[in-house]
C-alpha cells in the first residue's frame, strides 16, 4: 500500500470526493472555502470554482453542470460561468440546520441530508431530489448527515448520523427512492472516532472514513469490521474510489481548527491518494435531472 498527497494546498473542510468516470477527473469540495475543486487522477490540471454559501455536497448532472447542496437548499451550478442558482429551499425559516453530505443513487436521484450547525441537536433531515426537481423528505431527527451510499444492487441504503455515532441501513425501493425498515448497521461507540463520509466497494463492503482518528474502516455487509487502514492525519473526512481502474482511494481532510489540537498537523486539509488496497469501487452515477 502507498499513500500520496494529491492536492497542492489545504482545504478548511475538504469533503465529498467524487470520481467521474466520463471525464476521468476527481471532484471534491471545501465546505467552508466555500469552493469546488477538480483535478486529474494524479493531482494535475487543477481547477477551482467559488460558491456563494457553505457547501455540503455536489453531484454532476447528465445534462452538464452540477447540483449542489448549499447551506439553505438545492442549487444548480454552471461550471462555465460559475453561477449557482437556488431552486429549492429545504428547511425555510429554520436557522440551525445547514445542508451537508449527498450522493446520487443508481437511478439518478440525488439524496442529501442536513445537519445542526452546532452538531448537537437533531434538527437535520434527509432529502431526496428527483429528476423532475421534486424534493421529498425521507427521514428526520438527524444531528449530522453523512456518508450516504448504496449496496451494489442499490437495494440497501447506508447513511451515517455522525452526532449519534451510528451508521444506519435502510431498505431502499429502487423504483420510487423511498426508504423503510431503518436499523443500526454499526455503532462507533467503541471506535476511536466518528463515522463521516463513506462509500461501498464492488464487493459490497462499506468503507467509512473515521473522522478525528485518521482511519478508514471497512465493514462487511453485516456491519462487522473487516479491515482498518491508518491514514497520515487524524482530520480525514470522506473517501471515494477512482482512477482508471477505480482502485485508488481518494480521501479528503480538513485543516479548520475545530476543538482538536491535531488540526495543526502539517498535512491536515490535503487530499490523499491510497494505492494498493486491492479493492475496486463502483462508478458513481450522474443526476438525471
Ligand-binding site membership of 89 (annotated): no
Are 89 and 102 in contact by the 8 Å Cβ rule? The answer is no
Tell me what pLDDT residue 256 has.
72
Tens-binned pLDDT, residue by residue, of the chain (289 aa) = 999 999 989 999 999 999 999 999 999 999 999 999 999 999 999 999 999 999 999 999 999 999 999 999 999 999 999 999 999 999 999 999 999 999 999 999 999 999 999 999 999 999 999 999 999 999 999 999 999 999 999 999 999 999 999 999 999 999 999 999 999 999 999 999 999 999 999 999 999 999 999 999 999 999 999 999 999 999 999 999 999 999 999 999 999 765 555 456 889 999 999 999 999 999 999 999 9
From 139, 196, 201, 247, active-site residue: 196
Are 103 and 158 in contact by the 8 Å Cβ rule? The answer is no
Ligand-binding site membership of 189 (annotated): no
Active site annotation includes 11: no
Ligand-binding site membership of 23 (annotated): no
Tell me what pLDDT residue 1 has.
96
* Beta bridge mates, 2: 275
Are 197 and 16 in contact by the 8 Å Cβ rule? The answer is yes
Tell me what pLDDT residue 104 has.
98
In degrees, to the nearest 5, what angle opens at C-alpha 248 toward C-alphas 243 and 250? 95
**DSSP of 108-121, one letter per residue?**
S-EEEEEEETTS-S
Ligand-binding site membership of 234 (annotated): no
Ligand-binding site membership of 2 (annotated): no
Ligand-binding site membership of 118 (annotated): yes
Q: Which domains does the chain have, with CATH numbers?
A: 2-275 (2.120.10.30)
The span from the CA of 143 to the CA of 125, in Å, is: 9
Tell me what pLDDT residue 257 has.
62
Q: How far is CA 95 from the centre of its chain?
A: 23
Tell me what pLDDT residue 263 has.
52
Tell me what pLDDT residue 266 has.
85
Tell me what pLDDT residue 68 has.
98
**Spatial CA neighbour of 194 closest among 219, 168, 165:** 165
Tell me what pLDDT residue 259 has.
52
* Beta bridge mates, 220: none
Amino acid at each position: 500500500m502507498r499513500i500520496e498527497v494529491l492536492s497542492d494546498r489545504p482545504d478548511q473542510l475538504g469533503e465529498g470526493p467524487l470520481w467521474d468516470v466520463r471525464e476521468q477527473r476527481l471532484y471534491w469540495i471545501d465546505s467552508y472555502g466555500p469552493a469546488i475543486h477538480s483535478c486529474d487522477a494524479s493531482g494535475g490540471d487543477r481547477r477551482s470554482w467559488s460558491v456563494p454559501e457553505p457547501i455540503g455536497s455536489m453531484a454532476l448532472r447528465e445534462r452538464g453542470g452540477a447540483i449542489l447542496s448549499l447551506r439553505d437548499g438545492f442549487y444548480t451550478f454552471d461550471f462555465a460561468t460559475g453561477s449557482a442558482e437556488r431552486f429549492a429551499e429545504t428547511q425555510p425559516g429554520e436557522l440551525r440546520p445547514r445542508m451537508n453530505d449527498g450522493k446520487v443513487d443508481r437511478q439518478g436521484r440525488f439524496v442529501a441530508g442536513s445537519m445542526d450547525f452546532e452538531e448537537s441537536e437533531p434538527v437535520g433531515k434527509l432529502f431526496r431530489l428527483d429528476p423532475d426537481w421534486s424534493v421529498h423528505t425521507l427521514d428526520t431527527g438527524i444531528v449530522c448527515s453523512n456518508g450516504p451510499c448504496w449496496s451494489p444492487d442499490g437495494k440497501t441504503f447506508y447513511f451515517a448520523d455522525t452526532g449519534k455515532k451510528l451508521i444506519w441501513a435502510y431498505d431502499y425501493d429502487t423504483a420510487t427512492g423511498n426508504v423503510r425498515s431503518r436499523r443500526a448497521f454499526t455503532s462507533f461507540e467503541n471506535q476511536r472516532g466518528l463515522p463521516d463520509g463513506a462509500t461501498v466497494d464492488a464487493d459490497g463492503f462499506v468503507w467509512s472514513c473515521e473522522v478525528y482518528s485518521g482511519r478508514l474502516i471497512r465493514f462487511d455487509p453485516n456491519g462487522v469490521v473487516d479491515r482498518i487502514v491508518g491514514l497520515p492525519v487524524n482530520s480525514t473526512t470522506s473517501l471515494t474510489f477512482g482512477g482508471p481502474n477505480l482502485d485508488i482511494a481518494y480521501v479528503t481532510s480538513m485543516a479548520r481548527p475545530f476543538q482538536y489540537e491535531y488540526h495543526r498537523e502539517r498535512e491536515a486539509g490535503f487530499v490523499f491518494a491510497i494505492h494498493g488496497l486491492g479493492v475496486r469501487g463502483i462508478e458513481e452515477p450522474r443526476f438525471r435531472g
